[in-house]
A and B are shown apart, each in its own frame.
Chain A
């Protein structure tokens, strides 16, 4: 339930620096973008671009500046531009991140910033990869609530603690940053990968769900959770801060104990 809140003051003294800001600094950025277009060549290449950017700009802004002002053929997916839609996962300076959530000022702009497609999925063009194998793994873990009981007239009850149990894994936006950062997935595309396991976890530990056993059986497969080598790349890559490796460990534990 919402806590009762004290009525805030009608007027307060604001500290002098509030909302200060001052002039927004600008800086020059050297972007190295991995290019690939099978209509042109079977080989991929690096293209270099130099753009002037501003204090709050993100890597996505730099890519847009390149596309809109220098080379319209540079191709990448994006939509929401603030880290909730999961379109623009890419490999930035060798690390998987969302381009819209990576501020340029947080990178070392004295060196070229490299931007490549995420690894382990077939590249279609430039930074665009084929997401179908990724979504196929997602679909295979039965990522939907299965409840065999009678449907209540109103909502099913769930305690706040039971709701909290799987909160972390509900944050997933299916951007594939985790799965495509996993060395096991790079060498074995059949591996379900962290994202599919995260989404199985979200239902396995939901007190309203009755199909946890089936999901555990699916993930007990040779391409399931046991392929995980606990390198924590996935946890580091997750733009939503999900404890991915821990979620995988909890699924492993559940398979061993068969107690959810």
Chain B
């Protein structure tokens, strides 16, 4: 085992991690650990754009952007955080342009902007052109530009170093009201070098988690194979709560059967959805902004069309994205990649044929709770000094119960930057926390357990069954029955997981072992999502309960906070508290500034 010492360790090298690294690297000794190579991160798969009220092509302002974000999230958004994001969006885009990002341009040479779902003029009056973009590869350009600037600033990367544990210590502390509590402090992380199979401990004053999402809990997903929720899982196992995990976004337009993302920019550029009768069905569900309604509404409408028998294809299980009324030259200029996906993977020519699409698991609105400085919370109001999180792994919460399109690329830039600055500034004044004795012991146990287990169960089989039950029971429509079915299934998967074996017993690039460890995180997170979904007996944003179809502000206008806790008693300080399947659920108030909850209609 080797021990490294850095002021700041950033875990993950996607958009949030590298945006943080650019700030932190110039202020403090910084290392970035990634289980991939930085340019493989899934930020690169984002397509449509990044919203900021630049008002380059029409009137706009950041207050409208704030409102749209809050309404889009069905009022579960923390309004102070949404204000920060919408206000700082403008500088975030300009920062990227100055770093070299090749945005599409207006005839005047300014950054061009286009329409995107849920982004409107003057509080919902009409769609507004707010998304700054580079064709339909905005995420690719952001990832490349950030990596280029990391090279420019000599950021130190540890590629293919898979972080498996967060090292913390607990100190006795006393709250202002005199109650004692355990204060967590961060000491570092433990990582597994995939090339050699060796463990490396990184001692750090500050740790930034930027590990992305967990889409692989579902079968049909736009997410990469590597998005297994590692960061969320590690934090959760070490006693950090997870916030709002019941809210998972299904992107309306995944390629049918494959889940590969077709950007909302297609609809922003004028494409429309049709059912088997050729009808533009979104006119019925969202009369004002139609196909540009937020994703939760469009995804549910699509699923409903299919359920009522108006799906297309031999199994009537998808709808169609129609671009045929758009000029081929316009499609080539604005949507080259996604039309290529349709040709490559489905053999469909989007110039002349509508493209089969169906909702695909896309984005976790929930995650590790943070404040607007990206500091991680160990409960509703206690930060963990030195620990930060940004991007999809985090829950600030700017997305509430449903994220608007483009706001994730914005989130990683705004809060990645904030996390990088805060982590470096903290490291300037703080001391290293002493590493716990045997810092690698937990990780060694975890790996040895998987490596030496000689059962008969296969990782891929359990993972597939998990993904199948999540798609069948935890997707856009949910009921207590379907959610309980998932929990029953997961209990059996967990039992089988104890009896898995991996065939590769070597040390070098043991990706068989890696997948087994990843499955452990997937099982853990699927359970958290489902327990939180079971307890939210209302419908809001991305979470739709058929047995509770209305939003219920009286009882549920609050964030959920899930703690790993095998035997926890009900927490008297929380409004409600339940323990299910080793998870204790508490709640956290939503932050309101100036927007009163209204009925969400488009």
Binding site for B on A (CB under 8 A): 1-3, 5-6, 8-14, 18-23, 37-40, 56, 67-69, 71-73, 75-87, 101, 103, 124-126, 128, 131, 135, 138-139, 142-145, 147, 151, 154-160, 163, 166-167, 170-174, 203, 206, 208-209
Complex contacts, B169 vs chain A, CB 8 Å: none
Q: List residues 37-92 of chain B with CB under 8 A from any CB of chain A.
A: 37, 39-42, 44-45, 57
Bound state CA distance, A68 and B457, in angstroms?
Answer: 12
Check if B257 sits within 8 Å of A82, measured CB to CB.
no
Closest chain B CB from A172 CB (angstroms):
8
> Which residues does B use to contact A, with CB under 8 Å?
36-37, 39-42, 44-45, 57, 93-94, 97-100, 102-112, 114-115, 129, 134, 137, 140-141, 144, 148-149, 151-152, 195, 224-226, 257-258, 260, 269-270, 272, 274, 276-280, 283, 312-314, 318, 320, 322, 325-327, 330, 334, 337, 341, 344-346, 353-354, 356, 458-460, 502-504, 506-512
Give A125's nearest chain B residue, CB to CB: B509
Question: Does the CB pair B57–A1 fall under 8 Å?
Answer: yes
> Closest Cβ of chain A: how far from B30's Cβ, in Å?
18
**In-complex Cβ contact of A128 among B226, B313, B325, B509 (8 A):** B509
Q: How far is the CA of A139 from the CA of B151 in the complex (A)?
A: 7
Partner of B224, one of A68, A79, A103, A135: A79
Tell me the smallest distance from the CB of B329 to a CB of chain A, in Å.
Answer: 10
Closest Cβ–Cβ distance, residue B450 to chain A (whole Å) = 12
Question: Contacts of B111 on A, CB cut-off 8 Å?
Answer: 155
Evaluate contact between A81 and B224: CB separation under 8 angstroms. Answer: yes
**Cβ A85 vs Cβ B144 within 8 A:** no
Contacts of B512 in A (CB 8 A): 67, 72-73, 75
With A37-B508, A208-B100 as contacts: A19 and B94 at CB distance below 8 Å:
no
Known A1-B106, A206-B100; 7 more pairs at CB < 8 Å: A9-B280, A20-B314, A73-B503, A80-B225, A138-B151, A160-B106, A173-B44
Q: Report B90 CB to chain A, min CB distance, Å.
A: 9
Cβ-closest chain A residue relative to B153: A144
- Which residues of A sit under 8 angstroms from B503, Cβ to Cβ? 71-73
How far is it, in angstroms, between the C-alpha of A78 and the C-alpha of B35 when the chains are bound? Answer: 12
Docked complex Cα distance between A9 and B314 (Å): 25
For B504, list chain A residues within 8 Å (CB): 72-73, 75
Are A11 and B151 within 8 A (Cβ)? Answer: no
CB atoms of A174 and B274 under 8 A apart: no
Most chain-A Cβ atoms within 10 A of its Cβ — which of B112, B140, B269, B511? Answer: B511
On chain A, the residues within 8 Å of B459 by CB distance are 68, 72
A216 to chain B, nearest CB (A): 18
Decide: A145 near B280, CB < 8 A? Known: A39-B508, A159-B105. Answer: no
- Report chain B residues within 8 Å CB of A131: 37
**Interchain CB contact under 8 A, B105 and A160:** yes
Q: Which 3 A-B pairs have the closest CB atoms?
A: A145-B100, A68-B460, A72-B503
Contact B44 A80 (CB under 8 A): yes
Residue of B129, B148, B313 near A143 (CB, 8 A) is B148
In the complex the two chains form, is B345's CB within 8 Å of A124's CB? no
Are B129 and A12 in contact, with the CB atoms below 8 A?
no
Q: How far is the CB of B272 from chain A (nearest CB, A)?
A: 5
